[in-house]
Amino acid sequence: MDSLQIYNSLTRSKQVFTPIEPGKVRMYVCGMTIYDYCHIGHARMMMSFDVVYRWLKALGYEVTYVRNITDIDDKIINRAGENGESISSLTARFTQYMHEDTSALGILPPDHEPRATEYVPEMLELIAKLEKNGLAYQSEDGDVNYSVRDFRGYGKLSGKSLDDLRAGERVDVNTGKRDPLDFVLWKSAKPSEPDEAKWSSRWGAGRPGWHIECSAMSSKLLGDHFDIHGGGADLQFPHHENEIAQSEGASGHPFVNYWMHNGFVRVDNEKMSKSLGNFFTIRDVLKNYDAEVLRFFIIRSHYRSPLNYSDAHLDDARSALTRLYTALKDIDVQDKPVDWQEEHAVRFSRAMNDDFNTPEAVAVLFELANEVNRTHSVEVASQLKALGSVLGLLERDPRQFLQGNGTVDENEEKWIEAQIQARREAKKTRDFAKADKIRNELLEKGIVLEDKPGGKTEWRRA
Q: What is the dihedral angle through the alpha carbons of 124, 92, 107, 231, rounded to the nearest 10 degrees?
A: -40
Residue 406 zone, left/alpha/beta (φ > 0; ψ -120 to 50; rest): left
What's the rounded Cα separation, in Å, for the pair 462 and 448?
A: 6
CA–centroid distance for 169 within its chain:
27
What's the rounded Cα separation, in Å, for the pair 331 and 445?
A: 27
Residues contacting 246, CB < 8 A, separation 6+: 126, 130, 146, 185, 211, 212, 215
Secondary element (H or E) of residue 25: strand 24-33
Annotated binding site: 30, 214, 239, 243, 274
Q: What is the 3-state secondary structure (H, E, C) of 386-401?
A: HHHHHCCCCCCCHHHH
Residues contacting 345, CB < 8 A, separation 6+: 338, 339, 383, 387
Q: Are 145 and 178 in contact (CB under 8 A)?
A: yes
What's the rounded Cα separation, in Å, for the pair 425 and 413?
A: 19
Q: Are 320 and 296 in contact (CB under 8 A)?
A: yes
In 3D, which of 81, 50, 62 has the Cα closest to residue 21? 62
Residues contacting 399, CB < 8 A, separation 6+: 329, 458, 460
Annotated binding site for Zn(2+): 30, 214, 239, 243
Residues contacting 232, CB < 8 A, separation 6+: 30, 41, 44, 45, 261, 262, 264
Residues contacting 196, CB < 8 A, separation 6+: 86, 87, 88
Residues contacting 208, CB < 8 A, separation 6+: 72, 116, 120, 123, 185, 186, 187, 199, 216
What's the rounded Cα separation, in Å, for the pair 320 and 289?
A: 14
Does a cis peptide bond (omega within 30 degrees of 0) precede residue 398? no
Amino acid in the structure at residue 14: K
In 3D, which of 102, 448, 430 has the Cα closest to residue 291? 102
- β-strands 270-271, 265-267: how paired? antiparallel
Q: Are 117 and 197 in contact (CB under 8 A)?
A: no
Annotated binding site for ATP: 274
